[in-house]
Chains A and B, each alone.
Chain A
Amino acid sequence: MSKVVEISPTTRHEGHSKLVMQVNDDGIVERGDWLSITPVRGIEKLAIGKTMEQVPKIASRVCGICPIAHTLAGVEAMEASIGCEIPEDAKLLRYILQCANRTHSHALHNILSLPDMHIPGTDVKINPFTKEEPVRSAALRIQRLREIAQTIGEIVGGEAIHPSNPRVGGCYKNITPRAKAKIYDLAKEGRLLAQEHMEFMISVFRDFQTRGTTEVGGVEVEIPDDLGYHRQGYMATAPMYGSSSLDANPTWFPERFTEVRPWDWYMGEVEISEADPNYPIGGTTPVGNKAWPQMEACTGVPLYDGQPIEVGPRARLVQFKNYDEKGAMGLQIARQMEFPDTMYGILDAVDALNTSGPVVADKIPQGDGSLGWAANEAPRGTDVHLARVKDGRVQYYSLLVPTTWNFPTCSRALTGAPWRLAEVIMRAYDPCVSCATHMLVIDEDKRLVAQKLIQ
């Protein structure tokens, strides 16, 4: 006889979400729904009628961990719609910004996932706040990596959180030779730290893979070998940057995308019949409460080739480097493997940068209403923005954000895991729930049905 358990809210990720799970008598998830309960802010609706310069700056405020992704995808969707080719040096500045943001984001996520893990070879769980070694030096290394990344982002992007430098047509400013030298120095320091840190983090996740059990809220939980396995596919557009409809050979295909309502995909109304008041910290939802994922989920369910897919670090490595490790730890390890490339990416791009080159296109067309799209490989995966611009104003705007893609995939990946490890699986996706929550929901007839959610 299956029971229903709910973890709400989930913790150590960005935004507000919950897990509703049907579990068997052994506490193993039979069907899990992971859903956003972040209030819909409706960026895509309020963008309509605003200028193409303003909208990416608003879209940036979707998320403060990966504002770079939304700024760049937003700006480049506008450029794709109006058909504007930006100068080479502006592309390089954006590329450096992208790499820097990925370093910072991955390092920040380490702080969030480490408390689930153990100091390798011991039963001691990692507390990132402790002054004890070896955790202290790892925490300091994370902070220095993030400081380096945010400083580089600040120089090329104008601002580390909500970059001010990117604009439709390129960037506002090129950097000075002095700033270029500063980026070199920081990236060289960061490259060594990133290597060291990647090795440390992989050893921690490998240790978790080889453990038999782990303790959650006083309960010793068995770790299945196939923790977080799923049979969905992967989607990625580039190892580092992205793609857009201006490319000669775009790597994302809008015709393969469809979206269904949470109504069609999530569980119906259920009553919570299992609870654990000791689940850290504060317990799970008490027995007798109701949950209704169909109605409560604040995201659409995007499909690629008719299926939910996984996006993110593993998807990129699978697509471009034949990575083949599955499961939650496989995903975590793939994320760490992206560390060195970000710093090499910065060094290569800054090498190629001409600090006296122009960074704004000579001509910025005002648009005729054509559909343009841009995909940015955000730290968490493919972030696609679609836009129609006419006479400098946005007529249509839609965001397909990494965590939106991952919500249904991750829900499937919960099956077969002890429910007490569901958050460990979810965290492997580095969820960014604010990012994922957006208004536009399209049903099979391509009609807007967001109203249904609001009722």
Chain B
Amino acid sequence: MDVLGNYKSVISARSTDKDITKKSQDGGIITTLFAYALEEGIIDGAIVAGPGDEPWKPEPVVATTKAELLAAAGTRYTISPNLNLIKEATRSYGLDRVGIVGTPCQMQAVRKAQLYPIGMRDVDDKIALALGIFCMENLSYQALEAIVEDHCNQKMESVKKMDIGKGKFTVYTERGAVSQMPLKLLSKYVQPGCNVCLDYVANLADISSGSVGSPDGWSTVFVRSMKGNAVWDGAIAADLFETKPMDQVKPGLDLVTKLATEKITKNQKNVDARKTFGLKADGTAKGLRNPYETP
């Protein structure tokens, strides 16, 4: 199995828009692409993880301006149910061309809704641009609070940025402090549903982007579909990105491949283990459900 999915090209890139890179997690790829797509009429709104009612708790919103996109920039390491708005965006919001950003599982949901629209009337043909972000695993809000407030000993309100990389969960505060937690402590906080996920780099997105493989401040970008390719070419022609060929950056695609392989291998084991999770009275195995198999 190809752990990186199908793609036309992979590039290391960073936005040339300083307003965006000031706020973005890495290279500002998603924010820049949506801003470009809005301006060009490729989409007329994008479902993004906007600010919620508690610090670092995202709330899905339909963004129709660059200001709303900027408010959603940056990674929040907790659940944002972006698909909640996928139908509503085509209803009271009146959108005809919907953009949506999400983790690999959310891209899977988008594609499934397009091919098997169950209670999803008029959604399938209105998905105009689906942007995926790399995702190793996610956390509940309570888990994030425990990590930031207990392990890292920082107030959620003071945090400017959170980052997972180089084996550490790192918290940066507005006033300059940096706290870290080793990633090996993370596993008990991970959303259990993440343990059966077999997708690291958002294989089903039009374009997917993430930090791994590129230097700080840059993103690794997979351009996957025809639609994604057209949008990417347009954005490059409009000088919205600085790019470097992937084979000329460190640590490069090898690290992406390595992490993807690790995630999939580990989680495939979890999937397989579900089959023999329990025992029947006669001593034979009784399993848990496997969504990847037909029952």
How many chain A residues touch the partner (CB < 8 A)?
19
B93-120 CB mask vs A (1 if < 8 Å, else 0) is 1111000000000000000000000000
Interface bracket on B: 10 to 19
Interface residue SS majority, chain B: loop
Question: Quick one: closest B residue to A173, CB to CB?
Answer: B92
**Which residues of A from 166 to 197 have beta carbons under 8 Å from B?**
173-176, 178-183
- Of the candidates B45, B92, B121, the one whose C-beta lies within 8 Å of that of A155 is B92
With contacts A154-B122, A159-B121, A160-B121 taken as known, whether A178 is within 8 angstroms of B91 at the C-beta atoms is no
* Nearest Cβ on chain B to A150's Cβ, whole angstroms: 9
With contacts A178-B44, A178-B64 taken as known, whether A155 is within 8 angstroms of B91 at the C-beta atoms is yes
* Nearest Cβ on chain B to A390's Cβ, whole angstroms: 32
Which B residues are in CB contact (< 8 Å) with A151? 122
Instruction: Specify which of B45, B88, B90, B92 lies most central, judged by the most chain A CB atoms within 10 Å of its CB.
Output: B92
B79-93 CB mask vs A (1 if < 8 Å, else 0) is 000000000101111
**Which residues of B from 154 to 198 have beta carbons under 8 Å from A?**
none
Which A residues are in CB contact (< 8 Å) with B90? 154
* Nearest Cβ on chain B to A86's Cβ, whole angstroms: 17
* Nearest Cβ on chain B to A83's Cβ, whole angstroms: 27
Q: At the interface, yes or no: A392 with Cβ under 8 Å from chain B?
A: no
Q: Does B92 contact A181, Cβ atoms closer than 8 Å?
A: no
Q: Does B121 contact A179, Cβ atoms closer than 8 Å?
A: no
Q: At the interface, yes or no: A158 with Cβ under 8 Å from chain B?
A: yes
- Kindly state the separation between the CA atoms of A416 and B27 in the bound complex, as whole angstroms: 81
Question: Quick one: closest B residue to A151, CB to CB?
Answer: B122
- Kindly state the separation between the CA atoms of A183 and B94 in the bound complex, as whole angstroms: 9
Which A residues are in CB contact (< 8 Å) with B45? 178
* Nearest Cβ on chain A to B153's Cβ, whole angstroms: 41
Which A residues are in CB contact (< 8 Å) with B122? 151, 154
- Kindly state the separation between the CA atoms of A165 and B87 in the bound complex, as whole angstroms: 12
- Of the candidates A158, A161, A180, A181, the one whose C-beta lies within 8 Å of that of B91 is A158
- Kindly state the separation between the CA atoms of A151 and B88 in the bound complex, as whole angstroms: 13
Q: Does A176 contact B94, Cβ atoms closer than 8 Å?
A: yes
Which B residues are in CB contact (< 8 Å) with A161? 121
- Kindly state the separation between the CA atoms of A161 and B122 in the bound complex, as whole angstroms: 12
* Nearest Cβ on chain A to B113's Cβ, whole angstroms: 15
- Kindly state the separation between the CA atoms of A174 and B93 in the bound complex, as whole angstroms: 9
* Nearest Cβ on chain A to B216's Cβ, whole angstroms: 38
Which A residues are in CB contact (< 8 Å) with B121? 154, 159-161
- Kindly state the separation between the CA atoms of A310 and B64 in the bound complex, as whole angstroms: 49
With contacts A154-B122, A159-B121 taken as known, whether A176 is within 8 angstroms of B91 at the C-beta atoms is no
- Kindly state the separation between the CA atoms of A280 and B44 in the bound complex, as whole angstroms: 51
Q: Does B92 contact A174, Cβ atoms closer than 8 Å?
A: yes
Question: Quick one: closest A residue to B64, CB to CB?
Answer: A178
Which A residues are in CB contact (< 8 Å) with B64? 176, 178
* Nearest Cβ on chain A to B257's Cβ, whole angstroms: 42
- Kindly state the separation between the CA atoms of A178 and B91 in the bound complex, as whole angstroms: 11
Instruction: Specify which of A151, A161, A173, A176 lies most central, judged by the most chain B CB atoms within 10 Å of its CB.
Output: A176
Chosen A-B contacts, 14 in total, with CB atoms closer than 8 Å, are A154-B122, A155-B94, A156-B92, A158-B88, A160-B121, A165-B91, A165-B92, A178-B45, A178-B93, A178-B95, A179-B91, A179-B92, A181-B94, A183-B94
**Which residues from chain A sit less than 8 Å from chain B, CB to CB?**
151, 154-156, 158-161, 165, 173-176, 178-183
**Which residues from chain B sit less than 8 Å from chain A, CB to CB?**
44-45, 64, 88, 90-96, 121-122
